[in-house]
Each structure stands twice: as structure tokens, then as C-alpha cells.
Structure 1
Amino acid sequence: MTPLRRLLILTVAVLLCAGAGTAMVLHAASRAADRARPRAGGPAVTAGTVTLGQHGQLDFLSQTPGPHLDAIVSVPAADAPADPGTARTASDVSCLRFYAAAGTGVCLQSAPGALTQTNRALILDARLHTLRSFPLAGTPSRARVSPSGHLAAWTVFVGGESYGAAFFSTRTSILDTRTWQLTPSLETFAITLDGHGYRAADTNFWGVSFAADDDTFYATLGTGGRTYLVRGSLSRRTVTTLVQNVECPSLSPDGTRIAFKKRVLPGAALWHEYVLDLGTLQETPLAEHRSVDDQATWLDNSTVAYSLPSNGSVSGSDLWTVPADGTGTPHLLLPGAFSPAPQ
């Protein structure tokens, strides 16, 4: 490699790091301003006790400007579709990404500093007390908990800032909350791609979703400019590709279907929501035609929820739902809400 080429690579790296650092600082300043200045007319949010695992409850992260911005909040699940403005109970725990099941929660946090960003994953009990804390290698992106609460997974960006970026790298970890055994990266698992063993330097995994057996999981594998849905086994430390062009899979409660975002414009950050039948591998496009950059959540076996940017907001999100069979129309579930976890 010539000295000039080394200089060019170094210059690009410095510019990318500087850009990412500036973006983090600006985002943190924007969130701080939103937290300090509540806006009139939003959903009512009051401090209270939030307990994970309560049947019929929908937990999520508040996106309403004010003191409870990014806090874990809850509403009765039955009230959300009928009254999107229903009063919300807010905890004192804040996250950038959150999920919970069976009384176990995972909360991904980020605290920008003067020179570095401190990222960590908190494992929470039903009362939102921290059981363990794990340092993260990058910016929080995705989080999931298995139906039993025994496994937690998270994905972070260790390079780039979004799945639509020209260059990005991820790291996905899985934790057994019974033994606290951590699998730091799925990149150590053996890969079978199109029926053959596969190894490459550019493999990335993201968006884990767990089956009910506490061993099987689904995730996205990115390599060679393509994305694949993989089925993995935690005990065997293996993953096998199923189909292409699948990102951020979410397994239905009955274990028969995968909701996912599919890139519909190559080379651009434009995704549509689909559902894949795992028995037939048939894909069904959903009735949401806007670009959805999220890991969808199943509210039940017939309804999928996902986040979209709030109108007029750079960082806020609203929760929407759509039928999982491709019929119907999108419906606003909750304004000023993100990262849902039905209980």
C-alpha cells in the first residue's frame, strides 16, 4: 500500500469518526432540550410504578417531550387501540432500546461524554431493578428477550450509524440470564449458507428473535452485499440461511411466521414490512407502504406493531399496527412511543 493510499484511508476514517461524534453530540443535545421543555397537547405521562410481566400490559419507551422522555412506561394493552391518548405510567428507568418478557427486561443505554460514548446493557427484574450490567461495544440498535425470559439479545453498531449507511458493522450478543453466560458475538458461530459451510471477513448479524425452546433463534446475516434470514441454535453454535433479503426478523407468538423488513430499493434506505410463512417460505407484503426501519413486534398472532418517525420530529417516534395477513390499513396505536413489549 502506497503512502498516499494510507493517508487517504486515514483521512476518511478521521472524517467518519468526527461525523459520528458530532452526530452523537447533536442527538444528545436535542434529547436534553426535549426533556427540559415539555410540549402541550401530548399524551399524559405521570410518574409511578411499572412492573414487568403484568398480563394485559403494554410496556414501551416514551417519546413524549418532557421529564419522562425515553423512560419505560406502561398502559393497559386493551386501552391503547381504543384511546391512543390514554394516560401513561412512567418509571425512572430510561433506555434507547428496550424489550421485556416473563418479568425480565433488557435496557440498552448510552451516555455521551466529552470524547467517548458509554454504552451498556442492563438486565432488569420485574420491578426494574438492575440485575447485571454489560458494557456495549457500540451504539445500541436492537434488543429482544425470549418468551421465557431466560435469554436476552442485543445488537449494536460498531461502525456506521444506521442500516442504510454505506459502511456499517454490527455486533450481536446473546445472554443466558440463568447462568449469566454471555455469547459476545454471533460471528463466532458456524455458518451454513445455501447448504455449504461459509466463512468471510464481512459477516454481520443483527435483529435476533427467539423461539419458545430457549435454543432456536432467528436473525439477519449480512455478507457479500446481501442479507439472509438465518435460523440459529445457541447450544450447537450454528446458523443456517433460509431466504435472502430479510432484515430484523420477529417471530410470531405461535412460532409459524416471521415479520421482517425487506429492502425494496437496492442501495437505498427503503424497506417495506412483510411476513414470511416458515412452513412454505411464502412472503406476504403488509398494508404499510411507508419505509419502516424497525424490528417489528407481534402484539398477538394477527397484529404487527412497528415505529415510524413522528410528524415534524427528528428523533421522536409513534407506534403503528397493521394486520399480519396483508389486509386492512395501518393504524396509529400510540403517539410518542417506541420499542414496544407486550406482556
Structure 2
Amino acid sequence: MKRALALALGLLVLVGVAVGYSTFAADRNEEATVERRPLDLTARGRLVFVDTNRAGGHRTVADTGLDTPAARVDSGLRCERFAVGAGTGVCLQTRGGPLPGTDALIVDANTNVKRRIELAGTPSRARVSASGNMVSWTVFVSGESYNKTGFSTWTGILDTRTDYTLINIEAIPLTVDGKPYHSPDVNYWGVTFAADDNRFYATVGTKGHTYLVEGDYANWEAHTIRDGVECPSLSPDGTRIAFKKRSGKSTWRLHVLDLATMRETPLAEHANVDDQAAWLDDNTVMYGRDRNIYAVPADGTGAPRLLVTKGASPTLLR
């Protein structure tokens, strides 16, 4: 009996060694496919994302081809969130020290830092308009997630044409259900820009509601258009918004909203997705989940497919 037990334990050790070596070998193989150099943020067809598997816990911006997702180029630029449009990128980088915070780094087409904007809080969301003219970010200034009671966010907008910067847009005149609205608990997050670089969409949270708002940058005003919408992402053709909709106390499911009909379509991803989705193309939504990047059809059909392992904050260069 003792000999049998010893033999079984020995086999388990051998299996564990084999599995461990296989994992180690796979990690080495994946590491061997990483090329380190500045990115070209104008290279159309490349998928830019945050690598979630860097040594020491530091996340860096990388890119890959959709046909060769295992081969990635690592820029070495450390970011928690990243977005890019027309060769202009925004990197949300945590800042250490006695008063930890976030730096919004504006980078050029080769990921060289052009400007640094010091913010409070921790990184949450980032977006750049298709033209590269408008940049936005969201940080948590209290609480660490949208599940926290009493969380607070700051969402800012930068016009790269003039360098005019709004660190927090919460003072924008807001209309709710057609009436001017004022409340101390107003929080904005998750901006997405239209092609005209003037109209934008975002979430505003107040009194237990999460409204989709449409903003007018030139006239500096915003109004609600639908309740129950979080982290909007406007489609490339400007007709639909991908968003996360609360499905439980601490869970969300991805949906797409048709702006002409206001019809909502739940997507075929049934797992919890706490992310501001992006668009791979006019027919496909992509998003981060469990430290990987997935894609799913925007019409509610099909099934999720894995795009990139160990990645987040995806943007397809167009």
C-alpha cells in the first residue's frame, strides 16, 4: 500500500514538472516573439493594445497584426490604458510618490511623449477621436471601480489643435429629460467622439441612474438621451453605440444601441464585461475580459472569439 502511494505521488510530481515545464516553455516561446522598438501608430491594420503580461506587473503598449496575433511589437511605454487616433495617442500611466495619481501622456506616431498632464486618482478609460484632434480620459478619484458606493470620477477633454484642456467636464451644462439639471453627485465617464470632432457621447451617473448623454463641444452643453447606458463606444459609421448594461449587482453585459431607432441588441458575449468596448470594424465589437481581448458580432449573432491573449485597451489603426 505504501509502495503504491509512493508511486502515485511520484507520478503526480512528474506530471507537475511536465506541466510546469510546458507552461515555462510556452511563456518563453511567447516572449521570444516579442520585438521591442517604438511603434508606428499610423500603420493601418495593426491592433494596438496594452500588454497585460509584462514582468514586474508593468503594462506596456504593444501592437500586432490580426493575422499574426502571437507576434507582437513592444514599445516599452508603460500604460494602464491607451487609445490612439490618426497617429496621436493617450497613455494613462500611474504615478507613484507621496501623492499617487495618474499622468495622461500625449504621444506622437512613434510613441514619443509630447505632453504630460498630471491628474488625481487611478486610470479608468481613454479615448482619441478618429482624427486625433480630440482626446479624453477618465480617472477614479475615490473608489476603485464602478461597483463602489459613492465612487467619484474625473473625465477630461483635450483639444490637440489648441491645447485647450478641461481636467474635469462635470461643470458642463446638463439637461436631463429636457430640463436643466444640477446635482452634487454628477459623475461623467467613458467619452467617445463623433467624426466631426464636436459631438461626443459619455455616461453621466447621478441619483442611481447611468444616462447616455450627447455633448456639444463647441456650444459646451450636454443632454441625456437614454438611461441604463455605460461606457459608450460610437461605431466607425456613427450609427450605433456599443455599451455595457448592468445585468446584476456587480456584472454587465455588452449591448449595441441603434441611434436612429433606439433599439438595444444584447451581444453574444454572456460573460461579465467591465470595459469600454471598441470597434474592430462596422460589424464587430472588441473588448477586454480576463486579461485577454475578444471580438463578437455587433448584431447579436455568433459567438465571442479570442483576438489577443494577455491584452487590454485595443484600438485598430485605420
Q: TM-score, normalised by structure 1?
A: 0.82
Alpha-carbon shift at residue 67 of structure 1 (Å): 7.1
Structure-2 separation of matches of 1:236 and 1:282? 28
Match of 2:177 in 1: 194
Q: Aligned letter for 1:210?
A: F
Alpha-carbon shift at residue 111 of structure 1 (Å): 2.7
Q: Aligned letter for 2:280?
A: L
Residues 268-307 of structure 1 aligned to structure 2 (within 5 Å): 268-307=249-288
Q: Aligned letter for 2:159?
A: D
Match of 1:22 in 2: none
Residue number among 275, 290, 295 corresponding to 1:321 in the alignment:
295
Q: Aligned letter for 1:127?
A: N
Residue number among 310, 314, 317 corresponding to 1:340 in the alignment:
314
2:26 counterpart SS class: coil
Match of 2:60 in 1: 71
Q: Is contact 2:54–2:60 with CA below 8 Å preserved after alignment?
A: no
Residue number among 40, 47, 66 corresponding to 1:58 in the alignment:
47
Change (3 A) 1:68 1:112: closer
Give me the identity figure in percent.
48
Residue number among 112, 117, 121 corresponding to 1:134 in the alignment:
117
Structure-2 separation of matches of 1:128 and 1:228? 34
Structure-2 separation of matches of 1:122 and 1:39? 34
Residues 164-313 of structure 1 aligned to structure 2 (within 5 Å): 164-265=147-248, 268-309=249-290
Alpha-carbon shift at residue 308 of structure 1 (Å): 0.9
Structure-1 separation of matches of 2:273 and 2:54? 22
Q: Root-mean-square deviation (CA), in Å? A: 1.5
Size of the aligned set, in residue pairs, is 291
1:284 counterpart SS class: strand
Structure-2 separation of matches of 1:118 and 1:144? 19
Q: Is contact 2:65–2:71 with CA below 8 Å preserved after alignment?
A: no
Is 1:331 aligned to residue 315 of structure 2? no
1:41 counterpart SS class: helix
Structure number with bigger Rg: 2
Alpha-carbon shift at residue 64 of structure 1 (Å): 2.1
Residue number among 153, 163, 167 corresponding to 2:146 in the alignment:
163
Q: Is contact 1:45–1:68 with CA below 8 Å preserved after alignment?
A: no
Structure-2 separation of matches of 1:232 and 1:53? 28
Q: Is contact 1:263–1:270 with CA below 8 Å preserved after alignment?
A: yes
Match of 1:8 in 2: none
Match of 1:7 in 2: none
Task: Flag the structure with higher strand content.
Answer: 2
Structure-2 separation of matches of 1:279 and 1:211? 15
Is 1:119 aligned to residue 102 of structure 2? yes
Q: Is contact 1:56–1:78 with CA below 8 Å preserved after alignment?
A: no
Structure 1, 272-281 or 68-77: larger mean CA deviation: 68-77
Is 1:89 aligned to residue 38 of structure 2? no
Change (3 A) 1:40 1:160: farther
Change (3 A) 1:223 1:39: farther
1:243 counterpart SS class: strand
Alpha-carbon shift at residue 79 of structure 1 (Å): 3.2
Structure-1 separation of matches of 2:182 and 2:101? 31
Q: Is contact 1:57–1:74 with CA below 8 Å preserved after alignment?
A: yes
